Amino acid sequence: MLKKEKLIKKTEDFVKKVFLEDYTGHDWWHTHRVRVLAKKIAISESADLFIVDMAALLHDVGDYKFFGGDEEAGVLFVKKWLSSLKVTKELVDKILTVISNISYKNTLLESSNREKQNSPNFPSKEFMAVCDADRLDAIGAIGIARAFTYGGFYKRQIYNPKIKPMKNITQEEYKKTDAPSINHFYDKLLRIKEMMHTKLGKKIAKKRHRFLNLYLKEFYKEWKGKL
C-alpha cells in the first residue's frame, strides 16, 4: 500500500475529475468543504483522520443519483477505486462504512429497515464526523445557495404558496418530489439540526439553523411585499 499522503492526493485528483461537470450543488467544492469541516469535527472527536479524509473525499462519488438510483453500483464504483489503490481490506471496510450510510434519504427509512445499518463499524466516529459535515453543508448560507442551485438545475420553482410542504415526508416521496425549492427547507434543511451526531456538529448546526429561519422570515416578508 502507498503512503497515506499519496493515497489522499491520488484520491483527490480522482474525485476532482469525477465532479468536473456537476452543476447540481454536488461539485468538487462541496466535497472540499465537507472535508475541511469533517476533519475539524474528527479532531474534536479523536476520530481517525485518514479514514475521515478518504471518506469525505469519496462520500459523493458513489451517490445513487449518478447511477440511475442504484446505490449498490455507487458503492461498487468506490470499492473499485480503493482496490486500484491497493488499500488494505480493513481500511476499505472502514471507509465504505462511512460512505454507504451517509445519504439523507436513508435516514428516512422505516425503523424496521434500520438493521441494514448493522455493520460492526457503525456508527463509527469517522462516520459521525463526515456525516455531520455533509449535512452541515446543506444548511446555513451555503446550504441555501445549494438548494436553489439544485432547484434551478431541475427546473423547480423557487416558491409556490399553493404547494404546501408535506408533513413527515417518506423516503419514496423525498426521492421523487418536484416541489419548489422552499419546500426542501421543510423536507430536509430544517430537520438537520436534530440529526447531528457530534457535539461540535450540534453547535455549528444551531447557528446555521438560526440563519435558515432568519432567511425564511425575510423571504415571506418580501413575498408579501411588506416594507
Residues lying near ligand ADP in the complex (CB under 6 A) are found at 25-26, 63, 103-105, 138, 143, 146-147, 150-151, 177, 181, 184, 188
Q: Is 132 in the site for Ni ion (CB under 5 A)?
A: no
Q: Is 134 in the site for Ni ion (CB under 5 A)?
A: yes
Written in H, E and C, the secondary structure of the chain is: CCCHHHHHHHHHHHHHHHCCCCCCCCCHHHHHHHHHHHHHHHHHHCCCHHHHHHHHHHCCCCCHHHHCCCHHHHHHHHHHHHHHCCCCHHHHHHHHHHHHCCCHHHHHCCHHHHHHHCCCCCCCHHHHHHHHHHHHCCCHHHHHHHHHHHHHHCCCCCCCCCCCCCCCCCHHHHHHCCCCHHHHHHHCHHHHHHHCCCHHHHHHHHHHHHHHHHHHHHHHHHHCCCC
From the CB of 36, what's the least distance to ligand ADP, in Å? 16
User: By CB under 5 A, what part of segment 69-128 binds Ni ion?
Assistant: none
User: By CB under 5 A, what part of segment 6-65 binds Ni ion?
Assistant: 60
Q: Which stretch binds Ni ion (CB under 5 A): 77-85, 129-137, 145-153, 197-205?
A: 129-137
| Binds 121: which of Ni ion, ligand ADP, none (CB < 5-8 Å by kind) | none
From the CB of 168, what's the least distance to Ni ion, in Å? 24
From the CB of 3, what's the least distance to ligand ADP, in Å? 31
From the CB of 205, what's the least distance to ligand ADP, in Å? 14
In the complex with Ni ion, which residue's Cβ is closer, 103 or 181? 103
| Binds 209: which of Ni ion, ligand ADP, none (CB < 5-8 Å by kind) | none
Q: Which stretches of the chain bind Ni ion, using CB under 5 A?
A: 60, 134
